[in-house]
Structure 1
Amino acid sequence: MALRRCHLNPKKTLFLLCDIQEKFRPAMPLFDNMVKNADKLTKAGKALDVPLIVTEHYPEKLGKTVEQLDISHAKLVSGKTYFSMFTPEVKAAIKELFNDKPEDVVLYGLESHICVEQTAIDFLQQNINVYIVADCCSSRLNQDRDLALDRLRQAGCVITTSESVIFDLVRDKNNPKFDAIRKLVSPPSVDMKLTRQPSDSDVGSSKL
């Protein structure tokens, strides 16, 4: 069942950055574009005081998070062997941050059809709204990414984009953080060639 779409509240939202590591760069189409969009989103989260948790998949072999992403404000940077980010270490950090759980998680990274998808399902099972930032996600094949996004939409996730998330968190031009955010969003996000798979209720296809 789809969860209720609501406005994001910085005090009740958690950013989850999933496995954007240097060793994946050669295998991922549009990797550099994804990193640019993820950089914008991550910096906006920092400016808006949204807590961030970062995972790195098997970092002993696959390396650390790419240097372009400033994760210095992360509440946890955790290595993992699980595909899902919903590890015991992450669960403990979430409980400490929210004294229970967030209302919403904003999830982005790679690979869309493996670690991102399994993470999203685990959070949905906790009755937490999951926002998948499509222009900050990647897979080795674009078709895997696009089909994963379609499955996650059907599972109840909100499929969104970096700028949509940022402006929903800001909500008001008079927000005291708006000047900092305006500098981040002034350059447009980079195109990730996203296409939406048609469902039974769709006529033709549409952009996300």
Structure 2
Amino acid sequence: MALRRCHLNPKKTLFLLCDIQEKFRPAMPLFDNMVKNADKLTKAGKALDMPLIVTEHYPEKLGKTVEQLDVCHAKVVVNKTLFSMITPEVKAVMKELFQEKPDDVVLYGLESHICVEQTAIDLLAQNINVYVVADCCSSRLNQDRDLALDRLRQAGCVITTSESIIFDLVRDKNNPKFDLIRKLVYPPSVDMELKRNAGSGVSKL
């Protein structure tokens, strides 16, 4: 599917943070790296006044969102059993925030091939542009993450990175939030060893 890449509109963009919970930590390769990148993105979203919705999958067994992520500015933290984030409660908050729905969603979390993928598919079905933040996503197996990103690219998502999202929202050095954002992005994002198939070989994302 051909993609028409557009700039994010800060007034019509929603951040969705999917199930980055403590109990997943031991099972996820590069979990700590993912959390560091997600922390940068979440802090930047807060600084830029981007609305955030957080979900926690079956938190009674899987725990709360990791403490390293400050989600106190989230419009809502939703407990769920659906794999997709697009629960009735999340739909209601989206409608309240955007009078119907956002134009763009910045989606990140885990697991890439389950909850993130099903969320993205549900958003695309509503004709919402989906920006999947690859360096802020994880699965128990890197191959599941990488193949999920390939499937989502083919489905029509934009596969991107945290710094690309941040700078696309800022757009201008004269943005009044630039100095704060500059401090957040000064340390480079942590490498997530992202790869995808390219012809018969393998290349970096």
TM-score by length of 2: 0.98
- Following superposition, the deviation at residue 206 of structure 1 comes to 2.8
Q: Distance in 1 between matches of 2:3 and 2:81?
A: 29
Q: Distance in 1 between matches of 2:204 and 2:165?
A: 17
More strand per residue: 1 or 2? 2
Identity %: 87
Alignment of 1:34-45 (within 5 A): 34-45=34-45
Query: Contact between 1:2 and 1:157, CA under 8 Å: does it hold in 2?
Result: no
Find the counterpart in structure 1 of residue 85 from structure 2.
85
Find the counterpart in structure 2 of residue 164 from structure 1.
164
Aligned match for 2:204, one of 196, 202, 207? 207
TM-score by length of 1: 0.96
Find the counterpart in structure 2 of residue 135 from structure 1.
135
Find the counterpart in structure 1 of residue 70 from structure 2.
70
Find the counterpart in structure 2 of residue 9 from structure 1.
9
Query: Contact between 1:28 and 1:141, CA under 8 Å: does it hold in 2?
Result: yes
- Following superposition, the deviation at residue 7 of structure 1 comes to 0.3
3-state SS of the aligned residue for 1:196? Answer: strand
- Following superposition, the deviation at residue 10 of structure 1 comes to 1.2
Letter aligned with residue 96 of structure 2: E
Query: Contact between 1:2 and 1:155, CA under 8 Å: does it hold in 2?
Result: no
Find the counterpart in structure 1 of residue 152 from structure 2.
152
Alignment of 1:103-118 (within 5 A): 103-118=103-118
Q: Distance in 1 between matches of 2:191 and 2:3?
A: 28
Q: Distance in 2 between matches of 1:105 and 1:63?
A: 25
Find the counterpart in structure 2 of residue 54 from structure 1.
54
Structure 2: which 5+ residue stretches go unaligned?
none
Q: Kindly tell me the number of residue pairs found equivalent between the two proteins.
A: 205
List per-residue Cα deviations over 1:134-188 (Å, max 9, x = no partner): 0000000000000000000000000000000000000000000000000000000
Query: Contact between 1:41 and 1:166, CA under 8 Å: does it hold in 2?
Result: yes
Q: Distance in 2 between matches of 1:45 and 1:168?
A: 12
List per-residue Cα deviations over 1:9-47 (Å, max 9, x = no partner): 111100000000000000000000000000000000000
Query: Contact between 1:129 and 1:157, CA under 8 Å: does it hold in 2?
Result: yes
- Following superposition, the deviation at residue 203 of structure 1 comes to 7.2
Alignment of 1:11-30 (within 5 A): 11-30=11-30
Q: CA RMSD in A?
A: 1.0
Q: Distance in 2 between matches of 1:5 and 1:179?
A: 27
Letter aligned with residue 117 of structure 1: E
Q: Sort the Cα spacing of 1:169 and 1:35 in 2 relative to 1 into closer, same or farther, 3 A.
A: same
- Following superposition, the deviation at residue 205 of structure 1 comes to 3.6
Q: Sort the Cα spacing of 1:204 and 1:30 in 2 relative to 1 into closer, same or farther, 3 A.
A: same
Q: Distance in 1 between matches of 2:169 and 2:109?
A: 20
Query: Contact between 1:135 and 1:161, CA under 8 Å: does it hold in 2?
Result: yes
Q: Distance in 1 between matches of 2:127 and 2:4?
A: 11
Alignment of 1:113-124 (within 5 A): 113-124=113-124
- Following superposition, the deviation at residue 4 of structure 1 comes to 2.6
